[in-house]
Amino acid sequence: MLRIRAGSVHPVTAPPIEDGAVLVDDRGTIAAVGPNRCVPEPPAPGAHVLECPDAVLVPGLVNTHTHLELTHLAGRNSEPEFARWIRTIRALKDATPPDEFTRSAERGVRDCWAAGVTCVADTGSTGAVMHALHALGGRGICYQEVFGPDPAQARTSLAELEQALTRLGSLASSRLRLGVSPHAPYTVSAPLYRAVDDFARSLGLPVAVHLAESREETQLVREGSGSFADALRSRGIAVQAQHCSPVQYLLRLGALERATGWLCIHCVQVDGPDIETLRDAGVAVAHCPRSNRAHGHGAAPLAAFRRAGLRVGLGTDSVVSTGDVTLWPEATAAGLEGEEALRMLTIEGARALGLEREIGSLDVGKQADLAVFPSTALHRPSPPSTALLTVVAGRVVHQR
């Protein structure tokens, strides 16, 4: 059992509590939360009791988009043009030995914990992050990527995806889910999108897709031109203009007709009808403002998403784009601060992943995913990047 007292406790679903405390039971769930004088001492001998009078206790942060298998590539790709940047990432991955991905994923998970992040939605192709979260006892959803821009590759790509899921399936648990990610419109053909969508529906798997991220992607879909189109044609892959946005393209394919459980990543290049389509489809959005800015994509219309009632969480994308997995700067970049930022980083992120009944707020009965930060965390312009304490399901995974 664990009891943490802090100068202020922020349940998110209730007002902040000055001189508050949280009691965690031996199942790793929250047994009590409230003013310190009202939260009982742990009855079990040997329970951990922590006093943090100059700190704030909040729910664990939720990162709705990461690529933790790429942690070792931080600072190694400065290519300014996005299509070439993507190709460089692929070349760097191809040159990486398997054990390096393992070390990279483990370091990425620990970096997240050091930043107070207790749940990640990770996309990757190697399976290393699924293995790392399983071995370390972490929480998250791992979306297995699938690629195949050539329609003739669709069956082969789907078979490879099925094989990967078979290998990883035994690692899934109540804290660790397995999903699929048809990567993006410039790396996935129409037949492969349909096949993966049908496959995911048949098994009830969550789906994540990079969508409407860049101008180059929009140019490819709408006009059949630009750097992505040129790269595909150079490989002998036919490209046709779809005369619509990437969002409407997926709707035409049938993928967004019943897309509950889908996470659409970035969604920068969208307009009013696109937002309505996303809302009607029931998808969630992973908003990655620092990555969008780093690549010159522009800013996703967060306010419009929220007015439309879309579920939106914040994500850091890969460290190759942003340099770290710290979530507070994402909130700042999104124009959020204080309790509003905290809400987006916790319960709103949990809702985006369909996990709001388990995590995202300090409520009795929920999983004890907690983070403790210096007392200035919710007040100064640049909150601290390192947590004082991080707890996943009642277990301390980081302590400074």
- From CA 115, how far away is CA 245, in angstroms rounded? 36
> Is pLDDT above 70 for 3?
yes
Q: What is the mean pLDDT of residues 159-174?
A: 97
According to the model, what pLDDT value does residue 330 have? Answer: 95
> Is pLDDT above 70 for 382?
no
The pLDDT tens digits for 337-379 are 999 999 999 999 999 999 999 999 999 999 999 999 998 777 7
According to the model, what pLDDT value does residue 79 have? Answer: 83
The pLDDT tens digits for 274-328 are 999 999 999 999 999 999 999 999 999 999 999 999 999 999 999 999 999 999 9
Query: What is the domain count for the chain?
Result: 2
Residues 143, 13 share a domain = no
Q: Give yes or no for a contact between 18 and 66, defined as CB atoms under 8 angstroms apart.
A: no
Residues 41, 26 share a domain = yes
Residue 80 lies in a domain: yes
According to the model, what pLDDT value does residue 256 have? Answer: 87
Domain final residue, candidates 333, 352, 371: 352
Residue 369 lies in a domain: yes
Residues 67, 45 share a domain = no
Mean pLDDT score of the chain: 95
**CATH number of domain containing 135:** 3.20.20.140
Residue percentage of the chain with pLDDT more than 90 = 91
What is the extent of the structural domain holding 15?
2-59+362-399
Angle ∠(345,349,353) on CA atoms, nearest 5: 160
- From CA 163, how far away is CA 112, in angstroms rounded? 29
Residues 77, 54 share a domain = no
Residues 202, 332 share a domain = yes
> Is pLDDT above 70 for 235?
yes
* Model confidence pTM above 0.95: yes
With both helix axes pointing from N to C terminus, report the angle between 128-136 and 98-114 in degrees, rounded to the nearest 10.
Answer: 50
**CATH number of domain containing 43:** 2.30.40.10
Residue 378 lies in a domain: yes
According to the model, what pLDDT value does residue 261 have? Answer: 86
Residues 369, 318 share a domain = no
The pLDDT tens digits for 19-38 are 999 999 999 999 999 999 99
Residues 277, 213 share a domain = yes
Residue 160 lies in a domain: yes
Residue 282 lies in a domain: yes
Q: Which value, to the nearest 10 degrees, does the dihedral of the CA atoms of residues 328, 124, 252, 268 take?
A: 30
With both helix axes pointing from N to C terminus, report the angle between 227-234 and 215-223 in degrees, rounded to the nearest 10.
Answer: 60
Q: Take residue 365 and report the two structure tokens written for it.
A: 């009965």
Residues 307, 175 share a domain = yes
- From CA 124, how far away is CA 319, in angstroms rounded? 13
Residues 66, 51 share a domain = no
Q: What is the mean pLDDT of residues 386-398?
A: 97
The pLDDT tens digits for 61-114 are 999 999 999 999 998 878 889 999 999 999 999 999 999 999 999 999 999 999
At residue 380 the predicted structure's pLDDT band, cuts being 50, 70 and 90, is low
According to the model, what pLDDT value does residue 45 have? Answer: 79
Residues 341, 367 share a domain = no
The pLDDT tens digits for 167-220 are 999 999 999 999 999 999 999 999 999 999 999 999 999 999 999 999 999 999
Beta strands across the sheet bearing 370-374: 30-35, 17-24, 2-9, 48-59, 370-374, 389-392, 395-399
Residue 345 lies in a domain: yes
Q: Take residue 115 and report the two structure tokens written for it.
A: 């930043």
User: For residue 323, which amino acid is it?
Assistant: G
Residue 357 lies in a domain: no
Residues 340, 236 share a domain = yes
Query: Greater confidence, 383 or 377?
Result: 377
Residues 153, 293 share a domain = yes
